Structure 1
Amino acid sequence: MKQTLRHVHPLAWTIIVGTMFGRLVTSMSIPFLSIYLTKVLGASPAQTGLTIAVSSLAGVSISFYGGYISDIIGRKKVMLVSIFSWAAVFVGFAAADRLWMFLIVNMLNGLCRAVFEPTSRALLSDITPGEHKLLVFNLRYAAVNLGVVFGPIIGLQLGSARSTFPFLIAAAVYIAYGLVLVLQFALHGKKLPSRSASGAPRLGEALAVTSRDRVFLPILLGTIFCVLGYGHFGSTLAQYLALNPQFADGGKAFSYMLSLNAVTVLAVQYPVVRTARHFPPLVPLILGNICVSAALILFGLAGGLPLLMFGVVLFTIGEVLLFTMMDMLIDRVAKPEWKGTYFGTIGFNGIGSVMAPILGGLLLGRLGPEHGSALFTPLALMTALGLPFLLTAHRRLARRERASEIDGVEYTKRIV
């Protein structure tokens, strides 16, 4: 393992460590935003859901272009502009004191995230040899959750549900992350794979290729519903706990659930990935969808913290199955010269993140927080709608790879 870690590119380590600290500060602020809007600003569940959803809506609208532009002008320019812009957005969160201000700033938050994240993942793919990609992508995912282990607890102590001060800390961390990236690009940027506009696909061509890819398209459609289910954890569930009189301190319970989610990821990620890598690549996503759907039903049935926590563990196993193998799957499906485009296009599954807080907020407003089962059961069923698409992608990918093997054998015979 130590020998393998030595082969990880310094820029990859920068992204992994920067991701850990980035998620630490965002998880101590962003997840509490729905509670802050509901409790402090007095926003209704529907207003809060819309304000939370606008981040994902903005992200979906730009995610393809972020990855595509990085294929055209290079990862460095896109990453540096987006990360310093992101830091400015966190300052905007700290200064906001009206609902419309949070709406605008959260939209900008989604734009920056949707440009930076797929570009950074595409860079990881560029600079990592094929035999080490699974390790690097999972190191990044572990870094995400290592940050989230402590972020919610720190946020609770800082009063994130009642104050916007933690966003200033997030801004400072992202400025530091950006400065380290500047230094690392200066030291190692010349050794990066070269990219030129003449060798990159035209926008229309890129859209056509991804939309006509008979494997990628059902993956995208299926993961929209997976992300829909996942999105209820940070939006609908947070509001449900904050408003439900059955839970004395819903904000505290939610912070513990966030931390348990992250701890569980760190505990199960290695054994799950070690097992799942032997499966066909779509099988983990199928199993993950089932786990997340079942966990949502448990959240609705829970009358106290123990069943909620069990639901978090099941939800987290589903999350690991869904997202630890996602980057490797896209890397496997994507055409080598268009990886930024594919990583950007998969960001359209953020439509699920747009739908989650809006649907959850509308149902919560209509049914009230006292009817958990009636609230979460339809949300679970909507999540499960992703299964037919994932099963279709599974069959098509198997056929494609069998055809490629046959073509390879025939080509070898002709040469011999």
Structure 2
Amino acid sequence: MKNNLRTLHPLSWTIIIGTIFGRMATSMSIPFLAVYLTQVKGATASSAGFIIAVSSLIGIVASFYGGYISDRIGRKKVMLMSIFGWTLVFVGFAFADAIWVFFVMNALNGLCRALFEPTSKALLSDVTPPSIRLFVFNLRYTAINIGVIFGPLLGLYLGSSKTTIPFLAAAFIYFLYGLTLAWQFKKHPVATPASIKQISIKKALSIIQKDTVFTIILIGIILCSFGYSQLSSTLPQYLSASPFIEDGPKLFGYLLSLNAVVVIVVQYPLLLIAKRYSTILSLTAGNVLIAGSLFAIAFSQSLGTLAFIIVIFTIGEVLLFAMMDLFIDNIAKPEVKGSYFGAVGFSQLGSVIGPWVGGMCIDFFGAANPLSIFSVLSIITIAGVPFLLIGYYRLRKRSEASVAVNIRADH
């Protein structure tokens, strides 16, 4: 591990360290937004869910173009534009009052994330040797969860479920991140290869559309994202409204921090096991654990049982997200790598539908009927397994066919 750390590019370090503080800023504000909207602004659960979901809705459309634009004009311009835009978005959240303003701000939040996330992943791939890309992608994932350990606790301390002031702190953190990134790009310039600049958006779309294995697996990932989105949307609303649970927002903050701690503890031991198998099998196992955890929430009212469920949920999350970036990196064609990382943003369709469906379930069944709520969410999530398995077998057949062609060519 020490040798891997020594070989990291300075821009990789900037992204990883910036990710810690960026996610800390986001997780002390955004996860409490649904609670703030319902308890302070009087929004319905389904309306709050839709406002949360619009961020991912924008991401569905914008992430592919964000990745493509970074292939076209370079990672630097896209990353700096999006991160300073993010700063202004958090300022907008802090001063928002009307419900429609929160809707607009969260839509812009999704746009900035859709531009920044695939571009930063593509940059990490650009500046990292293939032999340690899994290590770097998961170092970034660890950074995300270090930030999420402290973010919700800061959010509770600052009263994020009752005020929008913490968004100003988030804006300041993103502004500093942007300045640091700009300085590092100036000190360590990264050129975009000419061959990448010549790829048209029509050709990039055509390459990805013809990759049927990627499309099938993407459908499975969408349903995985549906299940995962319940952690930051339906769960806090349910805990806050449930007649069986006291002080739900505080409990949610603790569970969110526990989620991040468990990621850091189990991530690398799980990777030692998971890397022996196909990345798609890891995605499948993650889906099953997340779906099972959602179903189990219906039978849990105490801190201890909810904490245990979050541990299982988190193991599923690690298997899902820790291997996803490597899967994209492996399957992507080099000249459209940014576009592939952007195209996986279509998986956010699950994050759009998830909060909305979860909110509707709470409105329809009521927080006093958790079995009905979480049974629906669990069934929809586990529907992703067949798609992932079909993709796994098709990818294996494609690999076997490619090996056979190479053998014939050698002879």
TM category (shorter chain) comes to over 0.9
2:265 corresponds to which residue? Answer: 267
Q: Which amino acid aligns with 2:372?
A: A
Q: Which amino acid aligns with 1:216?
A: F
2:121 corresponds to which residue? Answer: 121
**Match of residue 287, structure 2, among 289, 301, 316:** 289
Describe the superposition over 1:197-220 as per-residue Cα deviations: whole angstroms up to 9, x where unpaired: 774322122112112202211111
2:297 corresponds to which residue? Answer: 299
2:227 corresponds to which residue? Answer: 229
Q: Larger deviation: 201-210 or 93-102?
A: 201-210
In structure 2, C-alpha distance between the alignment counterparts of 1:57 and 1:148, rounded to whole Å: 23
Question: Is residue 145 from structure 1 mapped to residue 130 from structure 2 by the alignment?
Answer: no
Question: Is residue 249 from structure 1 mapped to residue 211 from structure 2 by the alignment?
Answer: no
1:329 corresponds to which residue? Answer: 327
Question: Is residue 94 from structure 1 mapped to residue 94 from structure 2 by the alignment?
Answer: yes
In structure 1, C-alpha distance between the alignment counterparts of 2:86 and 2:349, rounded to whole Å: 21
Secondary structure of the structure 2 residue equivalent to 1:309: helix
Deviation, 1:285, is 0.4
Q: Which amino acid aligns with 2:284?
A: I
In structure 2, C-alpha distance between the alignment counterparts of 1:237 and 1:200, rounded to whole Å: 46
Identity of aligned residues (%): 51
1:130 corresponds to which residue? Answer: 130
Question: Is residue 33 from structure 1 mapped to residue 28 from structure 2 by the alignment?
Answer: no
Secondary structure of the structure 2 residue equivalent to 1:4: helix
Deviation, 1:82, is 0.5
In structure 2, C-alpha distance between the alignment counterparts of 1:372 and 1:162, rounded to whole Å: 25
In structure 1, C-alpha distance between the alignment counterparts of 2:24 and 2:204, rounded to whole Å: 35
1:342 corresponds to which residue? Answer: 340
**If the length of structure 2 is used for normalisation, what is the TM-score?**
0.98
**Contact 1:293 1:384 (8 Å CA) reproduced:** yes
Q: Which amino acid aligns with 2:344?
A: I
**Contact 2:11 2:188 (8 Å CA) reproduced:** yes
Deviation, 1:193, is 4.5
Deviation, 1:249, is 0.2
Describe the superposition over 1:346-372 as per-residue Cα deviations: whole angstroms up to 9, x where unpaired: 000000000011101111101110000
**Could you say if the C-alpha distance between residues 106 and 197 of structure 1 is closer, same or farther in structure 2, counting changes exceeding 3 Å?**
farther
2:383 corresponds to which residue? Answer: 385
1:111 corresponds to which residue? Answer: 111
In structure 2, C-alpha distance between the alignment counterparts of 1:381 and 1:262, rounded to whole Å: 25
1:211 corresponds to which residue? Answer: 209
Q: How does 1:3-42 map to 2 (within 5 A)?
A: 3-42=3-42
Deviation, 1:245, is 2.0
Total equivalences in the alignment: 411
**Contact 1:72 1:196 (8 Å CA) reproduced:** no
**Could you say if the C-alpha distance between residues 336 and 87 of structure 1 is closer, same or farther in structure 2, counting changes exceeding 3 Å?**
same
**Contact 2:73 2:197 (8 Å CA) reproduced:** no
**Could you say if the C-alpha distance between residues 200 and 383 of structure 1 is closer, same or farther in structure 2, counting changes exceeding 3 Å?**
farther
In structure 1, C-alpha distance between the alignment counterparts of 2:146 and 2:45, rounded to whole Å: 30
Describe the superposition over 1:46-73 as per-residue Cα deviations: whole angstroms up to 9, x where unpaired: 1111111111111112111000111110
Q: Which amino acid aligns with 2:308?
A: F
In structure 2, C-alpha distance between the alignment counterparts of 1:409 and 1:281, rounded to whole Å: 25
**If the length of structure 1 is used for normalisation, what is the TM-score?**
0.97
Segments of 4+ in structure 1 off by > 6 A?
none
In structure 2, C-alpha distance between the alignment counterparts of 1:197 and 1:370, rounded to whole Å: 58
In structure 2, C-alpha distance between the alignment counterparts of 1:224 and 1:198, rounded to whole Å: 28
In structure 2, C-alpha distance between the alignment counterparts of 1:334 and 1:32, rounded to whole Å: 36
Describe the superposition over 1:1-24 as per-residue Cα deviations: whole angstroms up to 9, x where unpaired: 212211110001100000111001
2:57 corresponds to which residue? Answer: 57
In structure 1, C-alpha distance between the alignment counterparts of 2:195 and 2:201, rounded to whole Å: 11
Unaligned 5+ segments in structure 1 are none
Q: CA RMSD in A?
A: 1.1
Deviation, 1:194, is 2.7
